[in-house]
Structure 1
Amino acid sequence: MKNFLAQQGKITLILTALCALIYIAQQLGFEDDIMYLMHYPAYEEQDSEAWRYISHTLVHLSNLHILFNLSWFFIFGGMIERTFGSVKLLMLYVVASAITGYVQNYVSGPAFFGLSGVVYAVLGYVFIRDKLNHHLFDLPEGFFTMLLVGIALGFVSPLFGVEMGNAAHISGLVVGLIWGFIDSKLRKNSLE
């Protein structure tokens, strides 16, 4: 286990640990305080509180919510950090947090939490880099289909009483695909 953790990048570990610690604090009775401090700006006076544009990604609403998000982020965020460095993953996290939060807020208002918009950005980035850079990550066939199925399930989930941040998922995927495409083209041009 020690070797496994040592292979992970610092940003992957820090963000994973922050999400886990915040979730534990929620379970210990601090949920209302955490949600108040970390939600996306809901009132005009909160617009200048810059942390709110990313802090919403660190809060999760159920065991499954945090399990799925952290599993995908740990694996694929870790791939990005090991391959391209901590700065790349941190930049992708901050930009995807801000964009997916803005889009989800525009569509449904500020009542949303979780890392899933960032997770979809990470998955989109890994997918497009793998496709354009000769199987850089050696992803399995059907990886993109899995992403699309995940997004489609988000649209039918309300039928089962589960609300998801579909706008954050889709905008995150688009952010990751565009960023990965640009980085792939920049890499290709720098090699020519």
Structure 2
Amino acid sequence: MFVRTESFSQFLRLYPVISLLVFIHIVLFLVSALPIFPQLWVYEQLAGVNLYIKEGEWWRLITPIFVHLGFAHLLFNSFSLVLFGPPLEQRLGKVRFILLYLASGIFANIITYIIKPLTYSHVGASGAIFGLFGFYIAMILLKKQFISKESRQIILPIVVIGVVMTFMQSGINITAHIFGLLGGFIIGWISGKK
């Protein structure tokens, strides 16, 4: 379930939403590296800056999901999406998958805005990716047939490690990780009860 055996072209065809999300991550990262823009131009325009959100720049509740600061940040989040997203895009379909992903990320960003000080700023897809993890946890609890025993043995330790690492590393938006996970879990719980 989490092993990728497709060729690049097969992956693009089978998982167009994930492919588009990763493409957007990469394009924004590359644009931020172009010398024609000030070094942090993309970050300044699209980051979740609580003060600017308060002043009416509501798009900043969405755009941070696509922006990454540093290659390692981009690589980790994009790799996580490529690894853990395909089974959900395949099972849920394109529209429900993107709704899950965006709703989890936006929920994480809204709670970040509510809880963190006005001086706080953040970027990254982690809240949305943790939303995918939360959805998996809900499915494991409600619909065991949704995910195989072998896949459960992979996803559960990954989620635990992800949550533990959230509290062990500096510079992590703990709020986005935890509430992204919770948002995805709630969406999974509601859809699992149907």
Summarize the alignment of residues 63-78 of structure 1 with structure 2, pairs less than 5 Å apart: 63-78=71-86
Separation (CA, whole Å) in 2 of partners of 1:155 and 1:2: 37
C-alpha distance in structure 2 between counterparts of 1:111 and 1:48, whole Å? 15
8 A contact 1:80–1:88 mirrored in 2: no
TM-score relative to the length of structure 2: 0.83
Aligned residues: 181
Query: Of 134, 139, 149, which residue of structure 1 is paired with 2:144?
Result: 134
> 1:156 corresponds to which letter in structure 2?
M
1:47 CA displacement: 4.4
Counterpart of 1:42 in structure 2 is 50
Q: Where in structure 1 are there 5+ consecutive unaligned residues?
A: 187-192
Aligned-residue offset at 1:23: 0.7
The amino acid of 1:133's aligned partner reads: K
Segments of 4+ moved more than 4 angstroms: 44-47
Please report the TM-score for the alignment, with normalisation by the length of structure 1.
0.84
The counterpart of 1:12, out of the listed 10, 15, 18, is 18
Range with greater deviation from structure 2 (128-137 or 71-80): 128-137
Instruction: Pick one of 14, 27, 32 that aligns with 1:26.
Output: 32
Tell me the residue number matched to 1:189: none
Q: CA deviation at 1:18?
A: 0.4
Superposition RMSD on alpha carbons, in Å?
Answer: 2.1
How far apart in 2 are the matches of 1:86 and 1:68? Answer: 23
Aligned residue for 1:182? 190
Verify: 1:108 aligned to 2:120, yes or no: no
Residues 49, 121 of structure 2: 8 Å contact kept: no
> Partners in 2 of 1:50 and 1:89 — Cα distance?
23
Deviations 1:112-139 (A, max 9, x none): 1000000000111123224422342322
Change (3 A) 1:151 1:134: closer
Any stretches of 5+ residues in structure 2 without a counterpart?
A: 1-7
C-alpha deviation, 1:170, in angstroms: 0.5
User: Could you say which residue in structure 1 is the equivalent of 2:179?
Assistant: 171
The answer (yes or no) to whether the contact 2:131–2:183 under 8 Å persists in 1 is yes
Q: Is the counterpart of residue 153 in structure 1 residue 165 in structure 2?
A: yes
After superposition, what is the alpha-carbon deviation per residue over 1:42-90, rounded to whole angstroms, capped at 9, x for unaligned?
Answer: 3367643332211011111122211111111123222222111111122
Judge conservation of contact 2:104–2:181 (CA < 8 Å) in 1: no
Deviations 1:142-169 (A, max 9, x none): 52232122111221213xxxx1111100
Percent of matched pairs sharing the same residue: 22
Rate the CA distance shift 1:45–1:183 in 2: closer, same or farther, 3 A. Answer: closer
1:23-57 residue CA offsets vs partner (Å, 9 max, x unmatched): 11112244422112102243367643332211011
Distance in 2, matches of 1:117 and 1:96, equals: 6
Q: Which amino acid aligns with 1:180?
A: G
